Structure formats: structure tokens, C-alpha cells
Structure 1
Amino acid sequence: MPRVVPENIQKKQARDAKLLKELKDRRDQERKERAEKRKQLAANAEKYYNEYQATERSLVDNLRQAKAAGNFFVPAEAKVAFAIRTRGINKLDPKCKKIMQLLRLRQLHNGVFVRLNKATVNMLRRVEPYITYGFPSQKTIAKLIYKRGYGKVSGSRIPLSDNAIVEKVLGEKHGLTSVEDLVHEISTCGPHFKEANNFLWPFKLNSPRKGFAEKRHPYHNGGVWGNREDQINELVKRMI
């Protein structure tokens, strides 16, 4: 005589089988989505790399053509600056203090990206004796974000160790789903630069190797503060 399975046991087995199937289907779907996402991220990274290479090649070609023709070639003005605080709070007047707060340069050796326009250029010039700034290359921007990048997630400072951190904050509204997207948005000064820059926590840099020269003097007189233009890349390299 076959063994009779109680009805409550049958119901439990059916429920467990249903839950197990739902779990398996969900995991399969998540695995498929992750694979598609990895493929998309790889395609984006390749597209950005080709874009950077084309821009660099175009600049070199224009310089060579101008030199061959005996002319001058003036590159386009930089759209993004990187500012580093070089002095503390001593003798800091209230207006400069407020500008430092607006720039988010609250501590010594803090660094931030700044979109260049008339207002921000005037702000940088007003606090020049307390900061040094310049125009970072794409490689410098990528190195800063990958090596020293932290994001603002619910008011907390979170290291950018995973693309999911960027996607959680900037993905749905602004279409930035990876750290590479973040680098591209900052380096090209894209339409969502403000949101991407606000997401990035101010960079906490080290004191530069071999130290600063003369903090009291401007950079063009052999000192520290002021506009370094593309020489900011060398300083950032010493401070990472």
C-alpha cells in the first residue's frame, strides 16, 4: 500500500519548489543582466579610449601642420581646472573663506575639479594666494578618480571600488553607470558635469614629494600659488 503524504507536507513541498524555481529564475536573470552590463561597459570604455586618442592625434596633427606652414596653432581653451589648497586658515579674510567653502576646499591639500567660466575664474583669482590650480589632462583626471576617488552616497564618503556605487547615485537620472563614465564626464566637461563633480568627494592629497618651494611667492616667480596651466599634472603626480 503506497505511503500517504499528509496534505500539509504536500503544500509545503509545492511551496518550496515554487520558491526555488523563482529564486533560480531571478538568479539567471541577474546573471544575464550582469553579462550584458559588462559588455556595454567594455564597449563604452573602448569608445572613450578611441575618442581620447582621436582628440590627442588631432592636436598633434594641427601643431605639425601649423609648424610646417610657418604659422601658430592655438589649442582650444581648457574647460576644466583642478584646484589644490596650499595654505591653512591663517590671515584668511571672510570673503576668501566663503569662496573656499563654495569651492569645497576646506582643508589643506584638498583638491577639486572646477568648470571654468567667468564666475569661477574670478573666484579662483580672488583666492589665488591660498591655492594652486591648472588644467589637468585626461590621464591625470583618470588617475585621481581611480586612485583617490570617493563618492558621496547618502552623505557618507564611500570609496569608488565598484561601478554599482556610481550607478546607484548617477545612473537613473544622469546615465552615468561606471567609473569610466564619470572620468569621461569630468574630462570632457559634459552636460552632467555639475552632478558628477558634486558626487565626487573633495580629493584628500598627500604633501607633495620633495615638498613645496616658496609658499609666499606665485608659481611664475618660483613659488607655489597661482595658475600652473598644464604643469598641474606634474604636481598631482607628486601628491597622489
Structure 2
Amino acid sequence: MRLRRKYTAILMKKSTENMKLLQKVRNFVAYGEIDKETLYDLLAKRAQVIGKVKINPEKIINQLDKKSLSEMSIKDFFRLHSPRGGINTKRHFPKNKGVWGDNGKKINDLVRRML
């Protein structure tokens, strides 16, 4: 996964292999499904280009099904700030009150606070 620092985001395709990997690290990371608006903001504000290519978030979103970010000359990870307002609690188990683990659509709120 190459998450070497805190507050780093990556994009992963939804597959059985990736879901098994996320289940193994769910006590240490927050994950969920990102919507197009949040993805657009993430690419526009935090994407880093390899080389001298300009970023067009709409074009990148349309090509994500066919190509990976590295094939489009964009780094695979996004450095984020700590969330505005802080993190209530990190633990997600057993009462589902924290941010670690599967957040589903709530991950969009967390990512927007970290941009």
C-alpha cells in the first residue's frame, strides 16, 4: 500500500484482493468509497505531477478506469493535512464510533476536512 506517513491517501480499485488487504490493516487505516466530487477536489488540490504535465481533474477521473495514476504521470499518493476539528476517536471497534476501518461514504467528509 506504500502508506509510509500519517495523513496520506491512496486510490485503490475495488477488488477481492484489495478488500482482503484492507481487512488486514483495518485497525490502522481509514477507508471507504470516495464520490466524484471529493475525488475531483482531491486531484485538483493534492495531486503531484511527475514531469511537466498540467493536471486536468475531469480528464483524470474519466481515465481512471483504464489507466493508473502512475501511467498518467501523477504520483500514486496524496499528502493531506490533519483533519480540521480533529479526530473524535481513532478506534473503530467494537462500537463503530471511530475513524479507523471501513467508513463507507463517511470517508468523503473526513477527506474534505483534510484537504
TM-score (norm: length of structure 2): 0.85
Which residue does the alignment assign to 2:105? 230
The separation in 1 between residues aligned to 2:9 and 2:60, in whole angstroms, is: 17
Which of these two proteins has the greater Rg computed from alpha carbons?
Answer: 1
Which residue does the alignment assign to 2:78? 203
Q: CA deviation at 1:196?
A: 4.5
> Contact between 1:113 and 1:197, CA under 8 Å: does it hold in 2?
no
Unaligned segments of structure 2, at least 5 residues: none
1:182 to 42, 60, 68: 60
Equivalent positions of 1:16-31 (< 5 A) are none
Instruction: Flag the structure with higher helix content.
Output: 1
Specify whether residues 219 and 108 from structure 1 end up closer, same or farther in structure 2 by C-alpha distance, changes over 3 A only: farther
> Contact between 2:32 and 2:107, CA under 8 Å: does it hold in 1?
yes
The separation in 2 between residues aligned to 1:230 and 1:146, in whole angstroms, is: 20
The separation in 1 between residues aligned to 2:94 and 2:60, in whole angstroms, is: 30
Which residue does the alignment assign to 2:53? 165
Which structure 1 residue ranges, 4+ long, deviate > 6 Å from structure 2? none
Aligned to 2:84, the other structure's residue is in SS state coil
The two structures, once aligned, show a CA RMSD in angstroms of 2.3
Asked which structure has the greater RCO (Cα within 8 Å, sep 6+), the reply is 2
Equivalent positions of 1:26-105 (< 5 A) are 103-105=1-3
> Contact between 2:33 and 2:107, CA under 8 Å: does it hold in 1?
yes
Residue by residue over 1:71-91, the C-alpha shift from the partner in whole angstroms, topping out at 9 and shown as x without a partner, is: xxxxxxxxxxxxxxxxxxxxx
Moved more, 198-207 or 230-239: 198-207
> Contact between 1:219 and 1:227, CA under 8 Å: does it hold in 2?
no
Which residue does the alignment assign to 1:23? none
The separation in 2 between residues aligned to 1:203 and 1:192, in whole angstroms, is: 17
Residue by residue over 1:22-66, the C-alpha shift from the partner in whole angstroms, topping out at 9 and shown as x without a partner, is: xxxxxxxxxxxxxxxxxxxxxxxxxxxxxxxxxxxxxxxxxxxxx
> Contact between 1:218 and 1:224, CA under 8 Å: does it hold in 2?
no
Instruction: Flag the structure with higher strand content.
Output: 1
Unaligned segments of structure 1, at least 5 residues: 1-102, 154-163, 167-176
- Equivalenced residue count is 115
The separation in 2 between residues aligned to 1:225 and 1:181, in whole angstroms, is: 31
The separation in 2 between residues aligned to 1:120 and 1:236, in whole angstroms, is: 20
Identity score, percent: 28
Is 1:118 paired with 2:26? no
